[in-house]
Amino acid sequence: MKNLIDTFRDRVASYMKRSAPVGQDERILVGVSGGVDSVALLDVLVILGYECEVVHINYHLREQESVADETLVRQLSQQRELNLHVKQISARTHAAGTGGSVQMIARDLRYAAFTEIALQQGLSTVAVAHHMDDQAESLLLNLNRGTGPEGLAAMRPVRPLKEQIKLVRPLLGESRASIQAYATARNLKWREDRSNEDTKYLRSRLRASVMPNLNAETLARSARLVAEWVDEVIRPMIDKSFSDVASGRSLSIVHLTQLPNVLARRLVIEAVRKWLPGSPANEALAERILALVDSQTGKQIEVGEWVIWRDRTHLVFTASAKQERTAETELLSESAAVAVPGGQVRLYLTQKEPSSLADPEGVWLDAEKLILPLTVRRWLAGDRMRPLGMQGTKKISDLLTDDAVPAQERRSVSVVCSGSMIAWVVGHRMAHEFRVTPSTQQYARLYYEQN
């Protein structure tokens, strides 16, 4: 038995060094459900010398069985004198009304909780117990959904959770059988989750009826080979092509039409992932967006709270007018600058007459005509102002066109308002009503300070 235990530990250590490296001085937050896989993972990491903390999520899906799972994890943590973090989450409550499955909602909640606790505890590594059989099942499930190369790569040994937090899978090179053999040899205690055998779940049916006829090791190896191809060839090509096509939050139509359709579609999916959070980054949406290339200028499609529209030269990705109108308006005063894209807007008040009203960074206004504090927001469709020196008002959209502001940059332009009136389109025009005159006694300088 000793040989089996030592061999297992050596394999895990070797796999981590090769595919999921974790510094020996790093603390690891280990997700432990109470099942054999996570219990074995915690055991082997502790014995390999890693400083571990434990996190357990109780979804309250199996009544007393959920309570028993939590009790076991508490006992394991206490026995090893490890810090334990328990999160109580009602997965059914969160799933209600979303249209998503309880299992998928629970997965999202789990990783959100792991990230939250890791941030709170100052941990940079989270470890979970997915193994080779899970990898093979994920490959087949992704294939069944209709996936591309990235889906065929299935789960990665390491992936980012958020900012500087990484998720590692130290057991991805081990089979379910080898993990159970190790746990048995070590006399570890674990609990069985009966829901894993519930055939109402596709993964359970796959595990019970299909996987016994297939080789999990060769399927997992296929996923690894595809992952290498994605990481070394496809991903760099996508990144390079995206940097060529993207400008601001828009894609060049000329560049897109010069690419093979499969690559153009993939770059649109990349744009959706980057610029339209919460939207389905799939082939169907990409095709809808690409259809705008052959449409007339101004044509647009809505995707949830987002809008993609065809400019003369670009496909522009932006928030819908409804979403923009709900955006928070910020107050501007001498003591409180307001952040805007690329920098911040500041206000300076003085009784001293400026030596020149020409200001490359801003504008001078009559302070007594302003309603303080001023407000700063993004410009909205329908906004109008009377530009300095003009007789009538003009739409902000037309003003930006006159100033030759690229379409992909227009949505990021901010306006400073005095009450309900626009006093300054940041970086462009000031309003005639607030101009400095010979009778001005109080002066206000509005200026843009670049980051």
pLDDT tens, residue order, the chain (451 aa): 568 999 999 999 999 999 999 998 899 999 999 999 999 999 999 999 999 999 999 988 888 999 999 999 999 999 999 999 999 988 888 777 677 778 888 888 899 999 999 999 999 999 999 999 999 999 999 999 888 899 999 999 999 998 789 999 999 999 999 999 999 999 999 999 888 888 888 899 999 999 999 999 999 999 999 999 999 999 999 999 999 999 878 899 999 999 999 999 999 999 999 888 888 889 999 999 999 999 988 788 988 878 898 888 899 887 765 544 444 567 888 878 888 888 899 999 999 999 999 988 999 999 999 988 898 998 887 889 999 999 889 999 889 988 888 776 777 899 999 988 999 999 999 999 999 999 999 999 999 988 7
Q: What is the pLDDT of residues 369-424, one digit of tens each?
A: 998 889 899 888 788 999 999 988 999 988 998 888 877 677 789 999 998 899 99
What are the tokens at 328? Answer: 């928070």
Q: Homologous superfamily of 330-450 in CATH?
A: Phenylalanyl-trna Synthetase, Chain B, domain 3 (3.50.40.10)
The rounded distance, in Å, linking the Cα atoms of 189 and 76 is 9
Stretch (H or E) spanning 418: strand 414-418
User: What would the CATH number be for the domain defined by 248-319?
Assistant: 3.30.465.60
CATH 3.50.40.10 domain range(s) in the chain = 330-450
CATH 3.30.465.60 domain range(s) in the chain = 248-319
Place of tokens 């080789």: 215
Q: 315 in helix, strand or coil?
A: strand
What are the tokens at 416? Answer: 């400073």
- At residue 320, the pLDDT reads 64
Residue 249 burial class via C-beta count within 10 angstroms: exposed 0-12, middle 13-18, buried 19 and up: buried
CATH 3.40.50.620 domain range(s) in the chain = 1-223
Strands 250-252, 246-247: pairing is antiparallel
Spatial CA neighbour of 77 closest among 38, 20, 23: 38
For the domain with range 1-223, which CATH number is right: 3.40.50.620, 2.30.30.240, 3.10.580.10, 3.40.50.1460? Answer: 3.40.50.620
Rounded alpha-carbon distances, angstroms, from residue 81 to 22, 46, 52, 120: 22, 11, 10, 20
Spatial CA neighbour of 408 closest among 339, 321, 314, 305: 314
The rounded distance, in Å, linking the Cα atoms of 316 and 292 is 10
